[in-house]
Structure 1
């Protein structure tokens, strides 16, 4: 064991030395590029916005592709603002029609697909990009999100392709996606959607160019060409991602607007106001799935920034929630933010063992939830950097209620045993493992991945389950493989998490809608009342009536328990003194263009 850890540490030191030598190799009189270096804890899957669903790929694509609108980098509470649009989308009186104008003179980065011509962004590019989510050949994991918008004619176009009536027709005009002129786009929805502008701000809905997709075909994940501030320069799958400043990026300047009482935000705004974006030249992202190498590479100076300090090292990095004195003396800065996310365990509701709405299946899921000592996981594994979850809505969203408490946070193995006994899950043969109510084997399986601190979480889960007589073997595979299997309905149980992409609670509510099964609704939960509640929630503006429905949907999910909601994480990020301007995003992923690397701050 000692040799293994020494070997890992030795590799990190060697890499640090190699990086330092490479960065010092700039020709005399030529300034070295301002390079941001940090590491992802999970491997990316690719860079086609219509094909990805994992967070880490989205961090990259958010800097390559641009949606029509985005969020102010500094505003808290969050505030929408135009990005490639000239102004925020304008609705009609009942929120069924939204019109937006694309800013002229926005250009895609250069690519052979454009045959040497400068390619301007137009309204038609957004129509094409959104149609790709509907095209069955794209197999977009996020189709259910676009489907829920109910853009007039889009779902029917997809159904024709699925039925084999004719291939998906990108050129067919649709009432739901209208190009009024070169720069003007109109969306028409079948039902009111008061929060539609927030949907358009999701980074997945940045524009791609048709010429690029048609040129690269099935290899589109490796050839991202957008209008964003950065472009892909190098990619070694699961190892290294290098991006460089997009030389054809338009003139765009730092003009974030924090609230008047936000001292930190006001300081950042004063420092960077008027600076042209992006302020750095290059981003190098390593993939370091193991906590120790990621932490050591940061301490050794190979990274300028560590995003989410590994839980195992929070006591060293931030004892008592404050930056450790030895790190503070080096000029480092700590950011602690309660994320808009939920970590959870889902049950496949179509699985014959744990799925279904009958009393004995609900009892099994409830018993598993009651047997899980989430408070101990938060204390031991997450080093108290989380709070227990009470329901499906993440913090900072309209459905979250900070004072609400539910059985989701209850740990009660005695009650779990009583439920199992009552509904016939008994240990018939005395081997310590319960059988199914019919007396046959109880075939349970928990999917897991070898990354990060999951092994510690799995160990606690195993002990918790054995304490109540449940024997649950683990099915191990890499995270991207598990995600693919989960979306296909091939996993029985899995611990995973999700982050909300917008302040409106509709996205979280959709995880309980049957129309999103296999997409946002990874548990494949189907219940008539849940579907009816979701249908009402999505068409109502914020207010007391909507709040009642959001609460009812949360309570319904807690009763049937397709998900065991476990907690909401605090994200601890640490930046070295050379990194300036960082503030953790809330509902968006792009932030690289808003930071600077100061050459006067010496790197180790």
Structure 2
């Protein structure tokens, strides 16, 4: 039987060729896709939940780690340089600074663009000097209640404070459009900052991408109530996913400018020189995605690292440090997996905050000062370091942290003393007696005395709370504990609704005066959690701001430390030793000191 013949027209043949070509192309693309390297994903966990991602509205470290990778300031710290060095980031060069430290002229690099956003209507939006003018002004807008308000206010930018005062007085929206003499875009790319007072260290404030990064006005105005969840900057990463207090995902910015790995490690820094040799010239960022989980309990966070679910653990929990690094060396089981470790005293301070406006522990009269000093003397910091923190700290003597200017390892004060006998003597002398014999002292007027501590629910805090209870019970001070999550405690403390709270503070700049801001009167309710107000201290603090580094300023540091010890609005307990660990998949890591961005400088190779 003859098969029917099939007539193939030229059109049919052409279609067949196109189909075959398409199938071939599909097969080729499929092969390429199957052979393509998987995305490089950095995975780790925060131990405390974030609060949001607007630089103007956040103050906590964990939110600021995120904002530091989304936004960009004019300057940044060289990630390998030790001693630290500040370099241009979005600026063309270092600023032109007048001899009196009151005028700073900065040129912004052309060709830097914001992340894509509907507010830009499909157009590329270039970063300009005006964006920094706008972003700095936002700190002064009463609508945002910025915890960094005083820091920006103390920059003394000419004409900036009156804008805020006008908004507060008239109750009208903050005026972003009125020009002021101290903050000008001289042209599209030139920013000029003029100050009413000298600020020799202003560049340190301008090197904080987590706080001083640029925002685009049209993005903010498109949805002003969504900025905490809608961060749009010029940085190497964009927010991809956010499940509050659970998971944060940042993706590589697909339109990030050509920026390449470079650094200036010291000539005798073998590790830094090796990193530079390996990565110099590679385009940043090197990873495609960063996945951050929020795991507040220490055990599951530690196990997630040990089991390889996380590439990196920031701050190995103290309760697991003997398993992780017995005698300061990586445990054999971890070493066999190729785990690396970095251990160092970091520029941080663990402190106990007393509410100076609280009727029990607050106030400036001799009996109130005596109560706070007695609490401090009854605090066995060495025991806490040994037992609860497994040796991962050194005692503090002042509010100034290691690695910052003004820190003196030889400075000694009562802050470092544990002396329960002296604590009892102070309490007896100033009328804090146990009148009814129940083991709890009363106030000098006979009223009830209970120390009420804000605390967190995690296991490590329960252990710390038990140590406090024993310390203070030994001198006749009875305690109560109010438990809430860290963000809720921070909110209560900022509002002044607390008696005592334990917290840690990190230096964000090289200048040690940053941490002295904990006692600066105008910072009350923001950085000054204790709500301490003393003219003598404020006078010292203001004087420190205007003079260059040198012997005169060092003498002012010493005076500030003496006032802190004398009035005791805080018990400065310890500087933590931080142990970070990472699996071999994470490469190129070096712990930052005063900055929060490092993801763009690391690689992930699985």
Give the structure-2-normalised TM-score.
0.94
**1:488-503 aligned within 5 A:** 488-503=495-510
Paired residue for 1:542, among 545, 549, 555? 549
1:423 aligned residue: 430
Paired residue for 2:270, among 263, 269, 272? 263
The whole-number CA distance in structure 2 between the counterparts of 1:496 and 1:34 is 35
**1:398-547 aligned within 5 A:** 398-451=405-458, 453-547=460-554
Q: Give the drift of 1:338.
A: 1.2
SS state at 2:343 partner: strand
Q: Give the drift of 1:165.
A: 5.9
The whole-number CA distance in structure 2 between the counterparts of 1:443 and 1:258 is 53
The whole-number CA distance in structure 2 between the counterparts of 1:209 and 1:299 is 42
Please say if 1:150 is aligned against 2:149.
no
Q: Give the drift of 1:30.
A: 2.8
The whole-number CA distance in structure 1 between the counterparts of 2:132 and 2:585 is 37
Please say if 1:299 is aligned against 2:306.
yes
Q: Give the drift of 1:167.
A: 2.6
Output the aligned Cα RMSD: 1.1
Instruction: Choose 331-340 or 284-293, whichever is displaced more.
Output: 331-340
2:199 aligned residue: 193
Q: Give the drift of 1:216.
A: 1.8
Please say if 1:227 is aligned against 2:200.
no
2:97 aligned residue: 91
Please say if 1:333 is aligned against 2:351.
no
The whole-number CA distance in structure 1 between the counterparts of 2:217 and 2:424 is 57
SS state at 2:561 partner: helix
**1:378-393 aligned within 5 A:** 378-393=385-400
The whole-number CA distance in structure 1 between the counterparts of 2:81 and 2:429 is 52
Query: Cα deviation per residue 1:512-552 (whole Å; 9 max; x = unaligned)?
Result: 21111111111111111101101110001110010000110
Please say if 1:75 is aligned against 2:81.
yes
SS state at 2:242 partner: strand
Quick check: 2:587–2:602 contact (8 Å CA) kept in 1?
A: yes
Paired residue for 1:104, among 99, 110, 116? 110
Q: Which structure 2 residue ranges, 5 or more long, are not aligned?
A: 1-31
Please say if 1:32 is aligned against 2:49.
no
Paired residue for 1:556, among 557, 563, 577? 563
Query: Cα deviation per residue 1:88-117 (whole Å; 9 max; x = unaligned)?
Result: 222101101111111100000101111111
Which one has the largest radius of gyration?
A: 2
Quick check: 2:130–2:185 contact (8 Å CA) kept in 1?
A: yes
The whole-number CA distance in structure 1 between the counterparts of 2:158 and 2:482 is 42
The whole-number CA distance in structure 2 between the counterparts of 1:30 and 1:482 is 47
Please say if 1:569 is aligned against 2:599.
no
The whole-number CA distance in structure 2 between the counterparts of 1:166 and 1:299 is 55
Please say if 1:587 is aligned against 2:594.
yes
Q: Give the drift of 1:353.
A: 1.3
1:52 aligned residue: 58
Number of equivalent positions? 574
Quick check: 2:400–2:513 contact (8 Å CA) kept in 1?
A: no
The whole-number CA distance in structure 2 between the counterparts of 1:267 and 1:165 is 57
SS state at 1:473 partner: strand
Quick check: 1:337–1:584 contact (8 Å CA) kept in 2?
A: no
Please say if 1:217 is aligned against 2:224.
yes
**1:278-317 aligned within 5 A:** 278-317=285-324
SS state at 2:427 partner: helix
Quick check: 2:450–2:477 contact (8 Å CA) kept in 1?
A: no
Q: Which structure 1 residue ranges, 5 or more long, are not aligned?
A: 1-25, 600-604
Quick check: 1:42–1:451 contact (8 Å CA) kept in 2?
A: no
1:367 aligned residue: 374
Quick check: 1:389–1:568 contact (8 Å CA) kept in 2?
A: yes
The whole-number CA distance in structure 2 between the counterparts of 1:451 and 1:259 is 41
Query: Cα deviation per residue 1:357-379 (whole Å; 9 max; x = unaligned)?
Result: 11000000000000111101101
The whole-number CA distance in structure 2 between the counterparts of 1:152 and 1:166 is 21
The whole-number CA distance in structure 2 between the counterparts of 1:70 and 1:567 is 28
1:3 aligned residue: none
Please say if 1:175 is aligned against 2:181.
yes
Residues 424 and 311 (structure 1 numbering): CA distance in 2 closer, same or farther, change over 3 Å? same
Q: Give the drift of 1:509.
A: 2.2
Paired residue for 1:351, among 347, 350, 358? 358
